[in-house]
Amino acid sequence: MKPLPVELDSLACERDQRELFASLSLQLEPGEVLQVAGPNGSGKTSLLRIMAGLLPPSAGDMRYGGDSVFSGTGRENWRQQRLYIGHAPAVKGALTAEENLAWLCALSRPVENDHIWQALEQVGLRGFEDVPCHNLSAGQQRRVALARLYLEQHPVWILDEPFTAIDKAGVAALETHILQHAARGGLVIMTTHHGLEHLPGVRCLDLGQVN
């Protein structure tokens, strides 16, 4: 599916009668990587949740290819286009890595087991396919969630702190994968406290300075 531009139009967010950000406008073209930065409590996660469609904005609109993602066909289309991996990785401790991935992918489109095994190998979990996830470390559980990036076909990725608990080699592999996705015309929106200055073509949105 051909990615389309994402446009934020004077988006605002309010939590508990406190304004986190207001009149946030931004145009993102396919192939861009946007890092949302800012101090704790500046609304990074809220912005990502609004973009994913989990949280309604208090004002403003967001458009994907010209259609609002908050209503009508635009919302249905957006559901097929974006992949959101939140702070909580949605990995069930009682299920194995393979079962977790099979279910999470089936929520948008079922995938074959061979592909799941390949994806697990790519995130360095070869040999852990059949281990219940509560026996894995925090970093390994995060890797199970991130294996979805190798499996699913969504053009837009929304990632909340994807590097949490991941070791240096894992971070480098993930950075490469994100850049490859952008090079294929995908769009990546992510928050991280990890510096991305060394990566070419990463745009930064500092919510601390917007306010």
Binding residues for another protein (CB under 8 A): 49, 52-56, 76, 79-80, 82, 84, 86-95, 99, 102-104, 106-108, 110, 132
Paired tokens of 131: 């281990």
Question: Between residues 48 and 123, which has the closer beta carbon with respect to another protein?
Answer: 48
Question: Between residues 55 and 59, which has the closer beta carbon with respect to another protein?
Answer: 55
CB of 145 to another protein, least distance (A): 8
End-to-end CA distance of the chain: 36
CA distance 65 to 73: 12
CB of 90 to another protein, least distance (A): 4
CB of 100 to another protein, least distance (A): 9
Q: Cα torsion at 73, 2, 53, 160 (round to 10°)?
A: 180
CB of 79 to another protein, least distance (A): 4
- Structure letter (DSSP) for residue 187: E
Paired tokens of 157: 């990725």
CB of 160 to another protein, least distance (A): 10
Strand order in the sheet with 67-68: 18-28, 6-15, 59-64, 67-68
- Structure letter (DSSP) for residue 178: H
Question: Between residues 107 and 172, which has the closer beta carbon with respect to another protein?
Answer: 107
Question: Between residues 30 and 132, which has the closer beta carbon with respect to another protein?
Answer: 132
Which residues partner with 157 through β-bridges? 83, 188
Question: Between residues 61 and 99, which has the closer beta carbon with respect to another protein?
Answer: 99
Q: Half-sphere exposure of 14 toward its Cβ, with a 13 Å CA cutoff? A: 6
Question: Between residues 163 and 202, which has the closer beta carbon with respect to another protein?
Answer: 163
Bridging pattern class, strands 156-160 and 187-191? parallel
- Which of 161, 170, 169, 160 has the alpha carbon at shortest distance from 194? 161
